[in-house]
Amino acid sequence: MGNYKCTGLLYLREHILKSDPEVQKRFLAALTPQEEHVFRFFTAMSWIPLETATKFFVSASPLLFPDNRRSSSMQQLGKASMDYNLKGIYRLALKFASVNMIFQNAVKAWRTYHDTGEASLEIRDAHSLLFKVKYAGLPPAFPENITGCAELLAELAGLKNNAVQYYLKDSIYHNWLVAWK
């Protein structure tokens, strides 16, 4: 399994540590002592096993997004984390970028946040694209997080009536179909 750059976990940690003490207690209770140490002391430039990062996301998502009925708490956490990381110049640049350019940059971002797996983009037609990741052993819960990230990118691209659907092909080909009207 690969490693994950902790920049993607900054939102999660900040919001867990600012949350109600009971939420913090429940989150930390789900971690081993070693995982708690990693959680408390990682930096934005740290790399940790993707399984550990996924455990953080899975443990935190229902605590941070308990009542969301539109999408899963993992999707909401992915969306919120992506929104948190797209600040300043990045947010401004998105206003001038095409949807294809935004998702092409998501392909490049995969390499920034993951040391394993190969991302690519397939433009399907004028109203859909396929974000693809070839990754044997991607933790089963992690694709929901990426779905939330893709949903935010579609919104920031100004896509109307957009939908993001995830499907797995041959156990190593992870696909997110982004479609809009």
pLDDT of res. 131: 98
123 and 60 in one domain?
A: no
pLDDT of res. 94: 83
pLDDT of res. 115: 96
169 and 113 in one domain?
A: yes
Q: Does 92 map to a domain?
A: no
- Whether the pTM exceeds 0.85: the reply is yes
User: For residue 44, what are the domain limits?
Assistant: 3-85
CA distance 27 to 16: 8
70 and 36 in one domain?
A: yes
Per the structure, how many domains does the chain have? 2
> Can you read off the two tokens belonging to residue 6?
């902790």
Length of the chain: 181
Tens-level pLDDT at each residue, the chain (181 residues): 799 999 999 999 999 999 999 999 999 999 999 999 999 999 999 999 999 999 999 999 999 999 766 679 999 999 999 999 998 787 888 888 999 999 999 999 999 999 999 999 999 999 999 999 999 999 999 999 999 999 999 999 989 899 999 999 988 999 999 999 9
Phi, psi (degrees; rounded to nearest 5) at 162: -90, 155
How far is residue 81 from each of residues 57, 67, 75, 84, 158, measured CA to CA in Å? Answer: 10, 18, 10, 5, 19
101 and 77 in one domain?
A: no
109 and 58 in one domain?
A: no
Q: Does 173 map to a domain?
A: yes
74 and 105 in one domain?
A: no
Smallest CA-to-CA distance from 39 within 4, 70, 6 is with 6
> Could you tell me which residues are beta bridge partners of residue 168?
174
Q: Which of 36, 59, 85 is the last residue of a domain?
A: 85
Name the residue type at position 92. L
Q: Which of 65, 85, 105 is the last residue of a domain?
A: 85
